[in-house]
Amino acid sequence: MLGRRVESCVAAPRAHVCVCSTRKSVLAGAMSCAIAAATGFTPSAFAQSAEKKAQPKSAPTEITSQDLLRNIACLEQRLRVLEAQKAAGTTSRQSPPQNGGEQDPCTEKEPKPWITTTTAEHLSLKVDAAAPIGKDVATPPPPPPVEVISFGAYGEIKFGRLQNPDAGGQWQTGFDAARVVLSPTYAITKNIIFNAELEFEHGGIAVDSDDKLAGSIDVEQLFIDFKIHERFNWRAPGIDLIPIGYINEHHEPNQFYSVNRPELYLGLIPSTWRAPATRVYGLLGNGLNYAFQVSQSVEDFGDSFDKRTDANIVAPGPYVGGFSIDSALGLSRTPVGDFRQLNDTLAYAGRLDYQPPWLPGFAGSVSGYYSPNTTPRGAHADSGDALGKSSLTMLDAEFRYRVPERGLELRGEYVWVAFGNPANLRANNDGDDTNNIGKTMYGYSGEIAYHFPLGTILESEWEAVPFYRYTFENFQASGFAGADLNAPTGQGQMQFHTAGIAIMPSPKLVLKLTYQKAINNDPTGANADYVLGGVGFSF
């Protein structure tokens, strides 16, 4: 966990020098100072000895480089005198020789503080040399400590009671170690930075079935940033998040207040939506940032690897499509490994983020995604007929507004998805007349939250954030086309009332309690209500 704590290089207290009362200590101190100033080394034992002999308890006095130079010159002069006395065999005190019109550095008109060594603080004298009058001191600031690979982490734990739609809406009690993510970062150079996220979901996986683990371990992000210019940076090809909406790229649990991610990101935007991709990004203007990404397209294939051949085409027979009325785009993410993608298409995504200087506390973005073709190789209807091309377009607009110096926070988002040719979507040609998709999907949400400070508890500032969010989604808006009969049950039109409280002992930790009421137009109901607690962390 290197580098995870907040660090500050606030240095040692400022060094002081003290006025001494005896010439003997002056000589010793000045010599010590001269050596320290010249070499950066302080003979501490000698210094402490001198201090013990003659250290007065006078007030600290600041010293300038002129003082230091004067004392060194004086010391040099007195050494010459001593040498001359020794050579002459006399110990009588004589006036130092005068060099023409040169001023004697030991005869200042105004008394100056003599330098003596005092404590180990004296070491700072080597950086305490005053600047010449009228000139800047080009002492560089201390560089940050040497960068090493550092690991961040975030994760979510969920528990509580929820309705199981596959059990007719039966309420069940359960637990989910939803995810723990390790995120290594390494600055290869100051401008080339490695990032990755290694994710363990639902407890991970195990070979032995009696371990009862059916989660996953996967690489969620893997890329290297080339920081070229603040207006133009390049993220080299890797596994990158699609820059759409807000939560997809900022999905740590302290970024939202419900136990589960906001509903718009549970299908309509298939968070965490990642893909093989490269992007450029940077600053366009005051508070305005951009990102433009080219990625491997989503694909209308949501089944297992058993349903694709070694030739990387969809195997003959039934298969589940990537788009459906149940999970929207949730199954359409392309694989990120082993050249197993089923589609040659490149998709394009872009986002503009804006924090207007004239409206503090507000942040928003507009983003879009376009794939010319989402149909996988070998896509077919249940009849065996090949399915042709279909494009996909997604647009998103969202905002977040925390009223300055108030607890009120507002969020809103709108997402719209259009399929180029619904007649070529697998869901509309799979023999199931109830799961069909129309020409478009859309959804929107509005959220209100209020931040209540709870004071200092366990040495940190706690905060409680009650919230309410309303979400509407329509996964079959209009324009059905395909071989299936169109007999929707209404399950694609959904509303969610989500309310709860998030308690944040620190910005890195959140304790959540959420109730959600899910409503759809299916006569049997959505059967997806829940009361869940959660623990989330990110650091």
Could you identify the residue written with the tokens 């809103």? 412
Binding part of the chain for other proteins, among 88-96, 326-334, 402-410, 421-429 by CB under 8 A, reads 402-410
Q: In whole angstroms, what is the distance from residue 382 CA to residue 485 CA?
A: 13
Q: What is the 3-state secondary structure (H, E, C) of 330-393?
A: CCCCCCCCCCCCCCCCEEEEEEEEECCCCCCCEEEEEEEEEECCCCCCCCECCCCCECCCCCEE
Task: Give just the sign of the alpha carbon dihedral 329, 514, 532, 250.
Answer: positive
List the one residue from 89, 100, 111, 134 that touches other proteins (CB under 8 A).
134
Binding part of the chain for other proteins, among 101-109, 138-146, 265-273, 305-313 by CB under 8 A, reads 138-146
DSSP, residue by residue, 478-513: S---SSS-----STTEEEEEEEEEEEEEETTEEEEE
Q: Does 453 bind other proteins (CB under 8 A)?
A: yes
Least distance (Å) between residue 26 CB and other proteins: 24
Q: Does 231 bind other proteins (CB under 8 A)?
A: yes
Range 234-253, binding other proteins (CB under 8 A): 246, 249-250
Query: Which tokens go with 313?
Result: 């085409």
Range 332-361, binding other proteins (CB under 8 A): 346, 355, 357, 360-361
Q: In whole angstroms, what is the distance from residue 314 CA to residue 299 CA?
A: 11
Q: Does 40 bind other proteins (CB under 8 A)?
A: no
With respect to other proteins, which residue has the nearer C-beta, 124 or 440?
124
- x-marked contacts with other proteins along 492-521 as a string, rule CB under 8 A: ---------------xx-------------
With respect to other proteins, which residue has the nearer C-beta, 213 or 397?
397
Q: Does 150 bind other proteins (CB under 8 A)?
A: yes
Q: Does 408 bind other proteins (CB under 8 A)?
A: no
Range 60-99, binding other proteins (CB under 8 A): none
Binding part of the chain for other proteins, among 280-288, 304-312, 430-438, 474-482 by CB under 8 A, reads 280-288
Q: In whole angstroms, what is the distance from residue 225 CA to residue 186 CA?
A: 10
Q: Look up residue 462 and give its amino acid.
A: W
Q: Does 229 bind other proteins (CB under 8 A)?
A: yes
Number of residues forming the site for other proteins (CB under 8 A)? 79
CA distances from 250 to 1, 29, 91, 159, 474 (A): 21, 59, 80, 23, 24
Q: Does 118 bind other proteins (CB under 8 A)?
A: no
Q: Does 59 bind other proteins (CB under 8 A)?
A: no
Q: Does 388 bind other proteins (CB under 8 A)?
A: no
List the one residue from 100, 101, 111, 142 that touches other proteins (CB under 8 A).
142
Q: Is 373 exposed, middle or buried (0-12, 13-18, 19+ CB in 10 A)?
A: buried
Q: In whole angstroms, what is the distance from residue 268 CA to residue 199 CA?
A: 22
Q: In whole angstroms, what is the distance from residue 236 CA to residue 246 CA?
A: 22
List the one residue from 22, 164, 195, 521 that touches other proteins (CB under 8 A).
195
With respect to other proteins, which residue has the nearer C-beta, 101 or 285?
285
Q: In whole angstroms, what is the distance from residue 385 CA to residue 391 CA?
A: 19
Q: Does 119 bind other proteins (CB under 8 A)?
A: no
Would you put residue 528 in left (φ > 0), alpha (ψ -120 to 50) or beta?
alpha
Q: Does 6 bind other proteins (CB under 8 A)?
A: yes
